[in-house]
Amino acid sequence: MKNEVLIVGGGVAGCAAAIALARNGRAVTLFERETTPRHKVCGEFLSGEALEDLHALGIDVSTLGAVPLEYVRLAAARRAAEAPLPFKAASLTRKSLDTALIAGTITAGVRVVRGQSVKSLDRKTTGLWQATLEDGTSFEAPTAFLATGKHDLRGHGRPKDPHQWVAFKMYYQLSPAQTAELKGASELTLYSGGYGGIQPVEEGLANFCCVVKQPYFARAGLRWEGLIARMQQDCPHLAMRLAGAEPQLDKPIAITHIPYGFLRRTTDEGLYCIGDQAAVIPSFTGDGISIALHTARRAVASFIASESAPAFQAKLRSAMLPQMRLAEAAANGLNNPLARAILPFCLRVWPGAMRVTARLTRVTQPAAPVPQAFAN
Ligand SMILES: Cc1cc2nc3c(=O)[nH]c(=O)nc-3n(C[C@H](O)[C@H](O)[C@H](O)COP(=O)(O)OP(=O)(O)OC[C@H]3O[C@@H](n4cnc5c(N)ncnc54)[C@H](O)[C@@H]3O)c2cc1C
């Protein structure tokens, strides 16, 4: 098979782009370094936009065991307040979502090469993109999509994270009383060094995912046990939620160096950067998956319309800039002690604040033509 497009990374953005391209008759090879999907650090919140895009790709999350979410609760110190979510939302483990996406990619007719990392992606003097795997095998095509998520490929790196964020995810079995309290809710808990989200996911589990600055983690002794104790001290609401909870993983999954606020400025001819390789929005928005799907959809539309990759990347950047900057400003607010103290109070007296923030920090839909896979 003669490749038209190589896609590096078989997560949300890579699979979404692969399915859309294959449904539009393109010969695609996708590379995914894992043999089977694994747990990933993610709050696993699926926004309304994400649900719509997944549906258009043939993925109905309700059949995969997704849990509907109806409201958001904000807790800082001893205060908590809640507001209804202004859109349909759900939660689903990344393992289930990534499994469905890879299955959909194979069904769409994409050649999927799994179990090896792409070591390099270079543009040859012929103008073709060449992806070279760990075992030295290489593949060539005129176009490549870079969708490696948080992993940077040599020569295509993103800037360093100046704040040294550290993120963790742990599944808990909550006590029956706390499971009932959390039903239908996505809870955001705030600390002096970051924030965390807790929400129900399938099979009666709760996902607790947090992001903290490195000095806060250091003051907790650079150990998970110290960190979770410190966060519960900072936010007694979290302590209440986790009382009697049983951790379901031997140790939390962790990642470091998350370049929040990154928006790729430019790219090379024939190379479309999507997902976290295009933009990294602060995690509290719960919008990263939606952005991964959105950037995949726009990149495929641009490729099909024969728009150049640098033009695509520049347009994407200017379309996303306002939402990204607003989300960053809101994230800074969450890290400000005064804002943290008054936020739940504000939400109680003005519940619309959460709805407004949720709307403003979401990505606006593009005017670009919609590729076939997303057009149902
Ligand atoms: C703490 C935290 C919480 C978050 N919570 C949420 C949330 O609740 N809701 C939400 O919508 N978003 C959330 N996000 C963001 C979301 O997880 C990401 O934005 C989204 O997964 C990006 O999709 P992607 O396709 O770019 O990357 P991924 O889905 O991570 O996919 C990248 C894939 O590329 C593969 N890969 C990497 N390198 C190579 C290589 N060299 N060769 C081959 N394959 C490779 C990886 O194995 C992976 O499967 C959160 C992020 C963080 C850090």
CATH code (residue 131): 3.50.50.60
In a domain, 188, yes or no: no
Distance (Å, whole) CA 229 – CA 300: 45
3-state SS, residue 323: helix
71 HSE (CA, 13 A, CB side): 13
In a domain, 40, yes or no: yes
User: Ligand 1 pocket, 11 CB below 6 A?
Assistant: yes
Rg of the chain's alpha carbons, rounded to an integer?
20
Helix (H) or strand (E) holding 125: none
Q: Residue 356: what pLDDT?
A: 55
In a domain, 351, yes or no: no
In a domain, 337, yes or no: no
Distance (Å, whole) CA 376 – CA 370: 10
In a domain, 316, yes or no: yes
Q: Whose CA is nearest to atom 8 of ligand 1?
A: 43
In a domain, 10, yes or no: yes
Q: Whose CA is nearest to atom 50 of ligand 1?
A: 42
In a domain, 120, yes or no: yes
Distance (Å, whole) CA 111 – CA 29: 5
Average pLDDT by consecutive 10-residue portion of the chain (376 residues)?
93 98 97 96 95 96 95 84 88 97 98 98 97 97 98 94 92 96 94 93 92 94 96 93 96 95 96 98 92 97 98 96 88 72 59 56 52 55
Atom of ligand 1 nearest to the CA of 31: 43
**Are 254 and 228 spatial neighbours (Cβ–Cβ below 8 Å)?**
no
The tokens 């999509």 sit on which residue? 145
Ligand 1 centre from 48 Cα, in Å? 18
Most ligand 1 atoms within 8 A of CB, residue of 129, 283, 284 to mutate: 283
User: Ligand 1 pocket, 257 CB below 6 A?
Assistant: no
**Are 200 and 176 spatial neighbours (Cβ–Cβ below 8 Å)?**
no
Most ligand 1 atoms within 8 A of CB, residue of 39, 85, 148, 209 to mutate: 148
In a domain, 227, yes or no: no
CA angle 152, 154, 156 (to 5 degrees): 65
**Are 151 and 186 spatial neighbours (Cβ–Cβ below 8 Å)?**
no
Count of domains in the chain? 1
Helix-helix angle 309-334:288-304, to 10 degrees = 170
Q: Residue 192: what pLDDT?
A: 86
Most ligand 1 atoms within 8 A of CB, residue of 7, 12, 152 to mutate: 12
Closest among 167, 197, 186, 181 to 240, alpha carbons compared: 181
